[in-house]
Amino acid sequence: MTRINLKNLSFAQIDELTAAMGQPKFRAKQMRDWLYNKNAVDIASMSNLPKEFREQLAATHTAQGLAIAAKRAAPDGTIKYLFTLDDGLTVETVFIPEEKRNTVCISTQVGCKFQCAFCATGTMGFSRNLTLAEILNQVIETRRDAGEVTNVVFMGMGEPLDNFTAVTRALEVMHNPEGFNIGTRRITVSTVGLPAQIDKLGKSGLKTNLAISLHAANDAVRSRLMPVNKKYPVAAIMKACAHYPLQHGRAITMEVILFDGVNDRPEDVQALIRALRGVKAKVNLICFNPVTGVELRPSPRERVEKFQKALMSADIDCTIRLSRGGEIEAACGQLRTSFTK
């Protein structure tokens, strides 16, 4: 019999399981404390649960984590993990330490369906969605190895909104005080732009930050970079963004990697300015991190700064993101599990 991972259960299901085993309600809370606060990967370690209950629970369930197959660290402290899943497939996760926060960039799929021209993950093809436990365990294993995690970004391998059920269930655990207890301001979901799923996320009540992997506001240019644009053009994405419910003081992040001679021209800036009318947004300009087999080249720094200046002149908040982890192929667009220790 295959045992069920407790981290694949909702809080309500854990409550029901505890009651079905004849235990008082507070045992469910104790279990959640072990799973999401104390980083448990073994039911036997849950020492404040009665031994008989632990043995009964372990007969049908597990708290199993992920195995670290490989790990690389950059000089700035960024760490890239290669985790092995139960079926032998692997995913990558990145830990990014900063002065006032520690961010973990997590994956939601093995591979990706969307094959963006600049992204290494897309070259893998798509294998499967990650389970709820596999998503949560990336945070847990990172905490076990690297220490405290204050922020989570769904920007690793795969398209989060294409694995909607598992991702939104993970968000519920991350936000919940009995889960990871991470505030909604500290969690961001990034998407290639799936309008119906953006609407659905907005209506979920999860209040998470939203980032759009945009990269161009001209449909012809964006379709060249991101084939998904042929089905979901810029106008459809912007319409969904305009209706996305934002908490006070927040804005949707538009992620734009600038490529030399492709999307860094004056007309590209103007197209972006026009597209963002009516959308409460900020722009992150990202340096392209070279990917083997991809002919695109990063835009020169002076052109990136000129692009930023033009956006700010149009009263659009714009920052140039500091690239982290490029030395270990852990930066934006570089994840694909071709891992060298």
Catalytic residues: 92, 332
Beta bridge partners of 95: 79, 104
If one counts every other C-beta atom within 10 angstroms of the C-beta of residue 204, the result is 14
Reduced 3-state DSSP string for 223-273: HHHCHHHHCCCHHHHHHHHHCCCCCCCCCEEEEEEEECCCCCCHHHHHHHH
Phi/psi at 285 (nearest 5 deg)? Answer: -90, 130
Cβ atoms of residues 167 and 161 within 8 Å: yes
Cβ atoms of residues 290 and 332 within 8 Å: no
Distances, alpha carbon 144 to alpha carbons 32, 133, 188, in Å: 16, 16, 22
- Which tokens is 161 given? 């909104």
Phi/psi at 15 (nearest 5 deg)? Answer: -60, -45
Quote the radius of gyration of the chain (alpha carbons, Å): 21
